A and B are shown apart, each in its own frame.
Chain A
Amino acid sequence: MLLTNKITKHLILFTVLTLAFFTFGYFYAQYQVASSIQHQLSEKLNQKVGSEILQGLNSKDEESARLFRQINGDLQTVYFSNNLFLSPVTAFITNQTRDGINPNKIIYVDLPKIKTQLKFYLEYQIIGLNLLIASSVIAGLAVIAIFMLPVPVNQQTKTLRDKFLAFKLTQQQAINCAKQYQTLNAMQQQVFDFLAENQINILSIADLLSWCADKKEIKTWHAHHFAWFCCALKKNPDDLNRAFAIACSENSIEFDAQSQALKIHGLTIQLAKTPFLYYLWYAKHKLDSDGWILNPATNQPSQPLANSLIDLMETYNGHAKAVNDLKSFGLKAKTIDQNRNKIKQELTAYLGDELAESYLFESRRDSKTQRYWYRLNCPENMIKIQELTI
């Protein structure tokens, strides 16, 4: 593609140069013809003044008419040493007024000694075809020479080229990559840099660049998209497209009750059954009410909370032991804390502190009991629950 682009550019240059040469050459030849004839006539006629041309010429008297006839006779065919581009030239004096004559085809010769100015008309054609051929051949030579020049590299491209050379590319490949790199926007460059630095081996450097260039969505990514991309890629370094899809996924948390799996921002996370159900319990609370659940007192387990959990666990096939414990002892502060911590540990381990943060819990202290209220951090519209299919 780069080569086609280069050829197109040079073809345009060729056309422009040919036209420029042709136009300039056309007027240059006309100017040269006029100036050469003017110069020589001026010199040769002035030599004759005083010996062969005696009185002022005014084209009305017989003597002038004879002289004009003689001069016109001598100038009937003026040849040039190079007549490749010229038809034979005729120069003549006439007393008939001629309108619309190209000013390049009129010359004036001054004969100061007899206070006379002669006006000559020139009649000839520039052989356009020959001039066009010469223009295009010469323009062609120039364009071929320019085509052979090494590609220009500016300072920025040079720095980038050196960077790409580190990837064992040839000089030309490195330059091409550096150029393509500059067409990416800042986010695409960031993605590429990340991929290149982490030595992603699935694609060549050039293909990685093209991949970044092709994924136009990356241009509008924000920092969190990039973070998700990096996170997904760490989990599955071989699947660029999946990481891209995860980065583009909507910000949501999905509870799949059937498989008891979590899908956060498109990324599947497997939790142990009991912490999963606790997590689901908090989620359902958030959907049903304001989501806040007050921790039971350390010395007094809560039976109402336990009942609510037992219902949920029985619905979703919770561990029998966990259900029995709740039935026997109620919901202890220690149990609920342990399960929340487990959720936190798993999510943080999987997503990292930053990304996990918005899917974890927020808390506030109850001013009367000095105990803590907890609820899910994310807004309820981000929460989706896939119920059991029976």
Chain B
Amino acid sequence: MSPKHYWLAVFSIISIVFCGFLLLIRPGQAQIELDRYDQVSCIIDETAELPTFTFLTASSLDVDKIINSLCHHPAIQASYSKVKVLWPPRESLSAEPLLNGEYQVVWSREQNFAGVLPNYKNYFKTLIKVDGYKVYWYSHQPNLELTQAFLQDKKIGVLDSKVSHSHYILPLSSLKQANINLATEQIVHYPDGLSLYAAFRHGEVDMISSGAWLESSLQRPVHKLLIDDNAVAFSLFISLDTPKLAQCAMLEAMKPVYSVFERDLIHLNLPDDVKELCY
């Protein structure tokens, strides 16, 4: 064997063995399973053979407080093994899971809910009703007015969700009534309320529409223009087979949310039976 062949053989042996070594120590695929991030849950008692308390809400607003309150409530603990709060895109609501009893509580607008399940009253009752709140145009610029001239170089933020009253239907219909035509690029769509508010705060858009609750989250003064002083209400529907004390637990858990409405003088309606039951 000539030295050339010898060294070639040595090199080949080391290379082959080295490749084998890499195969041997290769960690392989990471096993990563990500849960859904449009929901949060807490486990009360994994071993108990009890159903899950599921709340279908509209956004992730205050979900931590809500779920925390629910999970620690004795009435919920007595009847459920797990609590789940989820907020998939509003358009995804369909009749099937409602009929299957998958949701104990649903946050929706009465018309929408009835549109999905016309006989919803056979399964659900209204727990809270938010009525007649005011919707405004908000802008950082002074002299806010709904004219073609003012809006010429402005960008408007709306929600992607075509069923949203405050952030889609009301602002676009108010523009139409005022006979204002905007170029497509002047209207920016956002997937949810939080991103919409963030875009307004950061100046990505000049104007958005919202209920009065927006004002508390803004650091600098803002100018507003009323669009509607009696916007269509939204409600919290609760399944009829929910134990009564659990209904009250739900009401209590929603406090952080409706306390915001109350501060903004938004009228909360509680049905008589609920008042009677829980207060």
Contact = CB atoms under 8 A, between A and B. Distances in A.
Given A66-B64, A78-B31, A142-B13, A50 B191 contact: yes
18 contacts: A21-B18, A21-B21, A25-B21, A36-B29, A40-B30, A51-B88, A54-B191, A55-B194, A63-B60, A70-B40, A82-B25, A84-B25, A85-B27, A141-B17, A146-B14, A149-B9, A150-B6, A153-B3
What interface size band does chain B fall in?
Answer: 35 or more
Interface of A: 17, 21, 25, 28-29, 32-33, 36-37, 40-41, 44-45, 48, 50-56, 61-63, 66-67, 70-71, 73-75, 78-86, 89, 131, 134-135, 138-139, 141-142, 145-146, 149-155, 158
Interface string B9-49: 11001100110111011111111111111101000000000
B1 A151 contact: yes
A81 B31 contact: yes
Interface in B109-127: none
B30 A89 contact: yes
Interface string B188-205: 000110110010000000
A32 B26 contact: yes
B160 to A, nearest CB: 9
Contacts of A78: 30-32
B21 A67 contact: no
Given A48-B34, A85-B27, A152-B3, A55 B198 contact: yes
Given A40-B32, A74-B32, A51 B1 contact: no
A40 B21 contact: no
B32 A152 contact: no
A54 B192 contact: yes
Interface of B: 1-3, 5-7, 9-10, 13-14, 17-18, 20-22, 24-38, 40, 60, 63-64, 88-89, 191-192, 194-195, 198
Nearest to B63: A66
Given A62-B64, A138-B17, A67 B25 contact: no
A80 B28 contact: yes
B28 A82 contact: yes
A82 B6 contact: no
B57 to A, nearest CB: 13
Given A51-B89, A152-B6, A36 B30 contact: yes
A53 B63 CA distance: 15
B21 A135 contact: yes
Contacts of B33: 74
A154 B27 contact: no
A64 B18 CA distance: 44
B29 A81 contact: yes
A369 B242 CA distance: 158
B75 to A, nearest CB: 25
Contacts of B34: 44-45, 48, 71, 74
B1 A29 contact: no
A41 B29 CA distance: 12
Given A63-B60, A146-B10, A80 B21 contact: no
Contacts of B32: 37, 40-41, 44, 74-75, 78
Contacts of A33: 27, 30
A158 B13 CA distance: 24
B18 A56 contact: no
Given A37-B30, A134-B25, A150-B6, 15 more contacts: A21-B21, A29-B27, A33-B30, A36-B29, A48-B37, A52-B37, A53-B37, A54-B192, A78-B30, A79-B31, A80-B28, A85-B27, A149-B10, A151-B6, A158-B2
A82 B89 CA distance: 39
A154 B1 CA distance: 8
A152 B2 contact: yes
A153 B63 CA distance: 79
Nearest to A155: B2
B197 to A, nearest CB: 9
A71 B32 CA distance: 11
Nearest to A65: B64
Contacts of A86: 27
Nearest to A75: B32
B27 A70 contact: no
Contacts of A32: 26-27
Nearest to A41: B32
A353 B24 CA distance: 77
B17 A142 contact: yes
A302 B60 CA distance: 145
A67 B37 contact: yes
Contacts of B35: 70, 73-74
A25 B25 contact: yes
A29 to B, nearest CB: 6
Contacts of A56: 195, 198
Contacts of B37: 48, 52-53, 67, 70-71
Contacts of B18: 21, 138, 142
A154 B191 contact: no
A82 B27 contact: yes
Nearest to B199: A55
B83 to A, nearest CB: 15
A55 B32 CA distance: 23
A152 B36 CA distance: 64
Contact of B60 (A66, A81, A83, A151): A66
A63 B195 CA distance: 10
**Could you say which of A25, A152, A155 has the most chain B C-beta atoms within 10 Å of its C-beta?**
A152
B194 A54 contact: yes
Given A37-B32, A51-B38, A138 B5 contact: no
A13 to B, nearest CB: 9
A51 to B, nearest CB: 7
Nearest to B41: A70
Contacts of B36: 52
**Could you say which of B9, B29, B32, B198 has the most chain A C-beta atoms within 10 Å of its C-beta?**
B32
Nearest to A73: B35
A82 B27 CA distance: 5
Contact of A80 (B27, B40, B195): B27
